[in-house]
Structure 1
Amino acid sequence: MKKFEEKTIQSELKFKGRIITLQVDEVELPNGKTSNREIVKHPGAVAVIAVTKDNKIILVEQFRKALERSIIEIPAGKIEIGEAPEITALRELEEETGYTTDNLQYIQSFSTSPGFADEIIHLYFADNIVKMEQPVGLDEDEFVELLHVSLTEMEEMVKKQQIYDAKTAFAYIWLKDYFKEA
């Protein structure tokens, strides 16, 4: 959909990091005037809603420097260059939780912060998960605590703002429907 499209006149790279780049685009607005847009470019990410055989939801708690606090999230991670999202989803599930699955189901993709970033998260579901005998392990700069919670406990975490990110809040809403149907 291109309603109210802003046409790029020029684009200038301002920063290139390990995870993101920042560019400033000069754009022509629908009324013919011009403006600048600061845009964060991101390779995309995946997130996994993982549910055990006894209906416990797998979450991870970790410190998020950008927020200066720990939050509780569904397992997630950045897509590596050339990696298919479903491969990233399985890798992140294994690395962050020590669980694996042979049945990863795609749910949907969504934008995280469309006002300034192009990041898309691809959301997957796995309910046929098994604990790995030889867990892969976390990246060397990752520190997480694994949690197994009920839907009711997850709801309390949302209310207490322990769950504070959009992907995990979205997962909670999705899981409410999932458990209704189960």
Structure 2
Amino acid sequence: MIAAVSALVVALAAAAEHGEKAGGLPQLNPADFVPQLAWLLVTFVILYLILSRVTLPRIGEVLEERRDRVQRDLDAAERFKVDTDTALANYEKALSDARQKASSMAKDVRDRLGADTEKERARIEGELNSKLADAETRIAATKSKALASVDEIAAETASAVVGKLLGEEVSPAEVKKALQPAAE
């Protein structure tokens, strides 16, 4: 191994010494133009074949796949947009229907409560009218009873007054008898 490395160093030193004697850069030496052009042509043809047969088709496939993927993504985005617009329209319609239904229900409840309130008011007014009629009947009965007993009370009172004034006992029946002809 050491021998191979030392042989390589010797060869490089000899080549460097040979290059110094020729002078200038070897690629600018007119004697080396034809081999350089031949190698350039061979390298170009090999590079062209590799690019045209292997690399460029792969790049084309990648570009085509990307174009297809972008188109699929755009199509999916358009579908999602249509679905979203449809869902939004359905939501707006459902919301409008719900508002109308809620308004209708509120009106029905309001009407029902109004009717219930009216019935309850009519029932209470009926009870009050009945109680008022009973009270008026009792008042009339009490009044007629009081008026009926007014004659007796008046007779008793007149009897007591006459008894005090005259000092004689007068019966309430006698006072009634005396007041009857005067009342007629």
Choose 1 or 2 for highest CA Rg.
2
Fold in common (TM above 0.5): no
TM-score, normalising length: structure 2: 0.18
Structure showing the higher helix proportion among its residues:
2
Structure showing the higher strand proportion among its residues:
1
TM-score, normalising length: structure 1: 0.18
